[in-house]
Structure 1
Amino acid sequence: MAVSANRLELLQIADAVAREKSIDRMIVIEAMEEAIQRAAKARYGAETEVKAEINPKSGELRLWRLLEVVETVEEYGRQIGLEDAKAKNEAAKLGDYVTEPLPPIEFGRIAAQSAKQVIVQKVRDAERDRMYEEYVDRMGEIVNGSVKRVEYGNVIVDLGRGEAIIRRDELIPREQFRYGDRVRAYIYDVRREQRGPQIFLSRTHPQFMAKLFQQEVPEIYDGIITIRSIARDPGSRAKIAVTSTDSSIDPVGACVGMRGSRVQAVVGELQGEKIDIIPWTNNIADLVVSALQPADVAKVVLDEQAERVEVVVPDEQLSLAIGRRGQNVRLASQLIGWDIDILTEQEESERRQKEFTERTDLFMQALDVDEMVAQLLASEGFSSIEELAYVDLGEIASIGGFDEETAAEIQNRATEYLDALERELDEERQALGVEDALYDIGGLNAAMLVALGKDNVKTLEDFAGCVADDLIGWSERKDGETKRFDGALSAFPISRQEAEDMIMAARLKMGWITEDDLPAAEIVDEAEHDLEPEAETAQ
């Protein structure tokens, strides 16, 4: 049995397939041409090079045999001699191709089946490319679809012009979908894979909530209100921080809506997930107080270098501040990007008492004074022997019960203690093999040199080769949690700028840079530091 198609049918088939698959008509025609070429090669022999062409306007099909112009013919089905080629085309030269028209062919059953497979494969590839190009540009959008099937907890969604998948871990807990259910989700990734483009959807992604608010709150869509940060425990609770560029618009009130209508629309889509909306501020202390609501905060202490916040709450507010299974404090920490430690007022009082006792014992031992004198010094706010040794003598003398003679004696004992400690540390420094030249770097003392030696930084060259993070440590934030890594001098109160200045001084002494290079070098070092958190996050 032979199969043939007239000109009109070829174009009708191409138009129908292009419409059904939403791909370019010319792609279908090119697939037909390739299929006909394969069928013709099977008809005329595999050694024959055949070219097929379908006129996209008339549907006329033409076939040619392609022959390469060569000096000596070795393959008669593919090659032609130069003289014979010139007889057909005077302009022919070696390496060119000349064509010979072939009569139309009729497809046998096998040839027709093969041609169909070629066309189907080409159309499928074109459809995949179309789907990838369409959805890769829609990453970050919310799409609507219907559930096609559920496989091992993963939901396959029909988007109309393609399929997408919501993996189990991207579904809100306890959420159930059945065939035909309507579903709304966020496109967070589109990838080319062996079996075609894969579109990955999520209902737990923080940006899914942001996009839902954008749909419900016109001020967010218009850019008047900006969502600065989101932290979610999908299906349970979320915190969202918003700010407004228009002082006359309350960002929190706009997101809540009249009688909570706007926020309730988002809550309904997220299966009842409770949402706390707070105003964003660049003042971390105020932001922490807002983020820990509904708990009351009595005191906030910031450690900017470690990006850690210590929060003191009334004893009866502790469980509320922490939340069930630590949910409230965890979400607050994710929202502001800092670690949060929560203490009750009683715990803080006990810690302060412990610190007071430790300072009292230190002063008694180091200064050889009685407990009452040591307690007086501790209660006046002195926390170290160094403070007593280098503070203005009048500050010690102004303490009740002290006179100038007593203050001078205390300061002398403090200085003697530090000198003895410095000698011990210097001996330890020498034992570790740390060279004396490091003393020439302003800001370094014997205790620091011992710490450097233990970290295997023993020469001026070693120190010059360091970066600020090697000295003061660094933080990496991953999965909503900040992990702190200590540097060689993390135990000492050194700022990043001080660390960078000391390193530059060492490089200057090593001759790696000159005084003229110093400002430029500092700018480069700051730029490198600005880039470091991005690299750490990418890990």
Structure 2
Amino acid sequence: MQNDISKLIIQSFAEIAKDKGIDKDLLLSILEDVFRTMIRKKYESDDAFEVILNADRGEIQILHIREVVPADELTDPVTEISLEEALTHDPELELYDEYAQEISITDFGRRAVTMARQQLAQRIREIEKDNIFEDYSDRVGEIVLGDVYQVRNNKDILVNHNGVELLMPKSEQIYKDRYRKGDTIRAVVVEVKRVGGNPTVIISRTSPLFLERLFENEIPEVFDGIIELKRIAREPGDRSKVAVVSHDERVDPVGACVGMKGIRIHAVVRELQNENIDVINYSPDKAEFIKRALQPAQVLKVELSEDAKRASVLVPADEVSKAIGKGGVNIRLASKLVDCEIDVFREVEEEDDIDLYEFEVDFGKETIELLNEIGCDSARAVLELDEDELVRRTEGKITKEEAERIIDIIAYEFEDEQD
């Protein structure tokens, strides 16, 4: 009976430990701790006990070791046994010998054994959580491939990766992504944290790190370190800008990243739901870097502020829309890429435009100056931006209602001129 219970306990938890990747020696250590806890609950101390475990043979042996003493000197029945009682077990024992008596697991009672099993299972779960936390902490920055097994009501996605649950919040999903249960998903591990004691692994498809890892996967020169990705700016699902530099003068970094007929970059674009990717040559010269970042627009002149945190850029009148981009995306990405707020000014053709100060009665001098500060030095320059971009670039000093009014008045003025 004793051996049957021992084998059952060891075998069942050895299988669990194997499935969870827990080291056998660690499992034995946990088993010993659990049984010593069980001993302490019954005898208050485990000093007089030895726990012997043999995982290969599936045996658990608990020995109660006591000193043989005269009956009138017996003070602690946990650490001592009278000579008379000891002789009933082993007639060859003498005074002050050590007597080792094997304790059956069943002697602790069914309830104690059940509690021991529960405690052991709990310890294994805790180790599994620690292993997951440590494993995925080491994987931060790595791409993982998993299967979607649940899409929550709030659009958060739970992903199964080698039996571990990963979380991709809605904020980390490309807005064009649509997933159903069973779909395969590729993302980068960006964070591992503990929530209520449980490890939570956050994965992302919107992080610049995901784009960087995709470049490494598709472009051998990037993986080998010949080409370095110096800066990345993304608006996930729409457009990205990547600044690259080659550490081998024989290798063209932009050409290597794009590939023959765009084959290399297209593999990345497809993974990112057709996100347009501009690959540009990095330059340590900030003015030159800004010119390249605003591609495909042609830049005539760049003037940097003293702290190099703001730049005034002059472009031809017909290039303003390219410099700003649809919805302001090009100028936003360029600003992120170079870490500098960029204000675009156009070459003014007097007969084709209106000086903003002609609207001073409508907008006020302060508003005209605000518009000038963000690069809007003419009426047409204002019309190149939408309401949201005007609010963003003036840091809310012009409200959305004011921005709508400004655009409406200027647009109406040009309509009048055409009439």
TM norm structure 1: 0.56
- Within 2, Cα distance between the matches of 1:283 and 1:25? 58
Instruction: Judge conservation of contact 2:11–2:58 (CA < 8 Å) in 1.
Output: no
Contact 2:136 2:192 in 1 (8 A): yes
Q: What residue is the counterpart of 1:259 in the other structure? A: 261
What's the offset of the Cα at 1:244? 0.6
- What is the rounded CA distance, in whole Å, between the counterparts of 1:60 and 1:230 in structure 2? 59
Cross-structure match for 1:145: 146
Kept after mapping to 1: 8 A contact 2:31/2:120? yes
Residue 218 of structure 1, CA deviation = 0.3
Distance in 1 separating the partners of 2:202 and 2:96? 58
**Secondary structure of the corresponding residue to residue 169 of structure 1:** helix
Q: How far has the Cα of 1:214 moved from its partner? A: 0.5
Pick closer, same or farther for the CA change 1:319–1:119 going to 2, 3 Å.
Answer: same
- In the TM superposition, what is the alpha-carbon distance from 1:204 to its structure 2 partner? 0.5
What is residue 173 of structure 2 aligned with on the other side? 171
Q: What's the counterpart of residue 377 of structure 2?
A: none
Cα distance change, pair 189–317 in 1 and its aligned pair in 2 (3 A) = same
SS of the equivalent of 2:176 reads coil
2:65–2:101 CA contact under 8 A, matched in 1: no
Q: Which amino acid aligns with 2:60?
A: L
Aligned Cα RMSD in Å? 3.5
Report the CA distance between 1:312 and its aligned residue: 1.1
> Are the counterparts in 2 of residues 3 and 109 from structure 1 also a CA contact under 8 Å?
no
* SS, match of residue 5 in structure 1: helix
How far apart, in 2, do the equivalents of 1:99 and 1:340 lie? 87
Q: Which residue of 1 aligns with 2:116?
A: 115
For 1:306 and 1:67, how far apart are their aligned partners in 2?
81
Assess, with a 3 A threshold, how the Cα gap between structure 1 residues 40 and 344 changes in structure 2: closer, same or farther.
Answer: same
Is the 2:10–2:59 contact (alpha carbons within 8 Å) kept by the matching residues of 1?
no
Q: Which amino acid aligns with 1:112?
A: V
CA distance in 2, matches of 1:348, 1:33: 90
Q: In 1, Cα distance between the equivalents of 2:324 and 2:292? A: 14
Q: Amino acid of the residue matched to residue 167 of structure 2?
A: I
- The total of aligned residue pairs comes to 338
Residue of structure 2 in register with 1:47 after alignment:
44
Alpha-carbon separation, structure 2, partners of 1:258 and 1:236: 23
Work out the CA distance in 2 between the residues paired with 1:164 and 1:67: 53
Contact 1:65 1:101 (C-alpha < 8 Å) held by counterparts:
yes
- Higher relative contact order by CA 8 Å / sep ≥ 6: 1 or 2? 2
Q: Indicate if the aligned counterparts of 1:64 and 1:99 stay in contact, CA closer than 8 A.
A: no
- Asked if 1 retains the 8 angstrom alpha-carbon contact of 2:297 and 2:323, the reply is yes
Distance in structure 1 (CA, Å) of the matches to 2:132 and 2:350: 59
* Residue deviations 1:443-470 (CA, integer Å, cap 9, x gap): xxxxxxxxxxxxxxxxxxxxxxxxxxxx
Shift of 1:261: 1.0
Q: Is the 8 A contact 2:145 2:185 kept in 1?
A: yes
Q: 1:294 aligns with which of 293, 296, 307?
A: 296
Shift of 1:38: 4.2
C-alpha separation between the residues in 1 aligned to 2:349 and 2:205? 40
Larger Rg: 1
Match of 1:36 in 2: 35
Taking only the aligned residue pairs, the percentage that are identical comes to 37
Conserved 8 A contact 1:307-1:339: yes
Shift in alpha-carbon separation, 1:178–1:74, aligned structure 2, 3 A: farther
Structure 1 unmatched runs, 5+ = 82-86, 90-97, 355-480, 484-539
Partner in structure 2 of residue 131 of structure 1: 132
Tell me which residue corresponds to 1:275.
277
Gaps of 5+ in 2: 68-72, 82-94, 358-392, 396-419
Residue 156 (structure 1) shift: 1.2
Residue 317 of structure 1 and its aligned partner are, at CA, apart by 2.1
For residues 249 and 331 of structure 2, what CA distance do their matches in structure 1 show? Answer: 29
8 Å contact 1:308–1:338 — kept in the other structure?
yes
Match in the other structure for 1:190: 192
Aligned to 1:320: 322
CA distance in 1: counterparts of 2:137 and 2:251, whole angstroms: 35
* Counterpart-to-counterpart distance in 1, 2:350 and 2:189: 46
Structure 2: distance between partners of 1:240 and 1:101: 74
**1:206 equivalenced with 2:208 (yes/no):** yes
Counterpart residue number, 1:220 = 222
Counterpart residue number, 2:238 = 236
Name the aligned partner's letter for residue 25 of structure 1.
K
State the match for 1:26 in structure 2.
25
Check whether the contact 1:34–1:118 (CA below 8 A) recurs between aligned residues: no
In 1, the alpha carbon distance for the partners of 2:350 and 2:132 equals 59
Are the structure 2 counterparts of residues 334 and 78 from structure 1 closer, same or farther at C-alpha, using a change threshold of 3 Å?
A: farther
Q: Between 298-307 and 159-168, report the one with greater CA deviation.
A: 298-307
**Which whole-Å CA distance do the structure 2 matches of 1:268 and 1:289 have between them?**
28
The aligned residue for residue 333 of structure 1 is 335
With over 3 angstroms needed to count, the CA separation of the structure-2 counterparts of 1:203 and 1:347, relative to structure 1, is farther
